[in-house]
Amino acid sequence: MGGKLDQAKKIISELLKRDSNNFLHYYWMGVLSGAEAKHTEACNFYKQATELNPNDAESFFQWGISAFYSADFLKSCANFAEAIRLAPGMTEYYGWLAMVYSKLKQWDKAKEIARKGYEKSVTLYPDNKYLNSTLKNAYAGVYNEQGLMFYEQGQYSKAIIEYDEAIKIFELPVYWWNKYVAYQKDGKPIKAKESLIKALQLDPKNTKYSIELTKL
């Protein structure tokens, strides 16, 4: 894989030398750098691409991803927001922006963006089950992430409220498992067991859930 990437970068570098005003050359250099996990380098290429073509949403989106993996969440947030402004119909952008807001602990904003992305996707692409499921999962995931934060802070009742909201949106066994753990910590064994049983019903092959249930 590395050899092919090096060859591709060599080709694009040669194209850059011939035409340094083509934003796509910088864009593809960014893509290739990102594939090598050279995220800071990728950010620089995407920055140059957007300077040459400030109307290309995908360049801002990819820059947002590279900034995210560089842990520059503020820059990532700004780039995803700009990508959405330029291409509001690209609903996958919303999921990434919501994830960044979660990293910034801006929970209300994260929930709002995730909800908008999911609802817009269902409206625009009703037959794209994979995309809609991914965005629905991202929407529920924001609540779960805030629940995990409350759990780490010892605020178990608040954590459970967030897990419940996640379950309402997209019921996953891990959310029930998280409720189980929180109820255990909160001293509510009956509700804890009910949550664990529900997790096991949704994921009956999960050995961790099965073993845990035998301990109760």
Q: Nearest to residue 186, comparing CAs of 147, 212, 214? A: 147
Establish if 123 belongs to a structural domain: no
Q: What local confidence, expressed as pLDDT, does residue 16 receive?
A: 84
Establish if 92 belongs to a structural domain: no
Q: How confident is the model over 97-117, as a mean pLDDT?
A: 97
Phi, psi (degrees; rounded to nearest 5) at 131: -60, -45
Q: What local confidence, expressed as pLDDT, does residue 9 receive?
A: 84
Instruction: Share the mean pLDDT of the chain.
Output: 95
Establish if 71 belongs to a structural domain: yes
Whether residue 195 is predicted with pLDDT greater than 90 in this model: the reply is yes
Establish if 122 belongs to a structural domain: no
Establish if 11 belongs to a structural domain: yes
Whether residue 3 is predicted with pLDDT greater than 90 in this model: the reply is no
Q: How confident is the model over 35-59, as a mean pLDDT?
A: 97
Number of structural domains (the chain) is 1
Q: Which pLDDT band, with edges at 50, 70 and 90, does 15 fall under? A: confident
Instruction: Give the integer Cα–Cα distance in Å for 107 and 130.
Output: 25
Instruction: Give the integer Cα–Cα distance in Å for 96 and 118.
Output: 12
Segments forming the whole domain that contains residue 15: 1-87
pLDDT digits 0-9 by tens, 149-185: 999 999 999 999 999 999 999 999 999 999 999 999 9
Q: Are 151 and 177 in contact (CB under 8 A)?
A: no
56 Cβ neighbours under 8 A, 6+ residues apart: 23, 27, 49, 50, 86
Establish if 45 belongs to a structural domain: yes
213 Cβ neighbours under 8 A, 6+ residues apart: 193, 196, 197, 200
Q: Are 198 and 176 in contact (CB under 8 A)?
A: yes
CATH number of the domain residue 29 falls in: 1.25.40.10
- Whether the model clears a pTM of 0.75, i.e. scores above it, the answer is yes
Could you give the percent of the chain with pLDDT greater than 90? Answer: 90
128 Cβ neighbours under 8 A, 6+ residues apart: 121
Establish if 179 belongs to a structural domain: no
Q: How confident is the model over 70-97, as a mean pLDDT?
A: 97
Establish if 49 belongs to a structural domain: yes
Q: Nearest to residue 110, comparing CAs of 120, 100, 125? A: 100
Whether residue 2 is predicted with pLDDT greater than 90 in this model: the reply is no
Q: Nearest to residue 174, comparing CAs of 206, 146, 127? A: 206
What does the buried/exposed string (b/e) look like for 32-46 if buried means 16 or more CB atoms within 10 Å of the residue's CB?
Answer: bbbeeebbebbbbbb
